[in-house]
Amino acid sequence: MKPTQQQRSTRNPIALWTERLILAVVAAAVLLYLADWGIFLLRGRPLAQVAVHSYLTVPLKGNKTEYDYVGTQPASCARTLFPQGGTPPCWYLRRHTTQAARIGLWINAGQG
């Protein structure tokens, strides 16, 4: 149901501009992501590798956590602005070279 001309003119102008601004920002973000994805596909899915430091986090008793260093490993990244192809962008991965993988405790309540 569209508002009539009289209803449009009685709306708060600040609310109207805020609505337009939010719509413009969302539309620009969607267009930027789609352009990034299209360029990623046209360039043949360009991937690179970055050396990252890997850790395992193991939960312990008493709400404590143990960190075990696994080593430095290469990680794939996409040469894009946004994550594409299931990999993070290279600019992000170069700034976050420490990755932690959590090991959970599985307790089977049905046995025992």
At 112 the pLDDT is 42
**Residue 56, beta-bridge partner list:** 68, 101
How far lies 93's CA from each of 11, 16, 30, in Å? 46, 39, 23
Tell whether the model's pLDDT for residue 80 goes beyond 80.
Answer: yes
pLDDT tens, 9-56? Answer: 677 889 999 999 999 999 999 999 999 999 999 999 999 999 999 999
- pTM confidence score: 0.70
Better pLDDT: 40 or 6 = 40
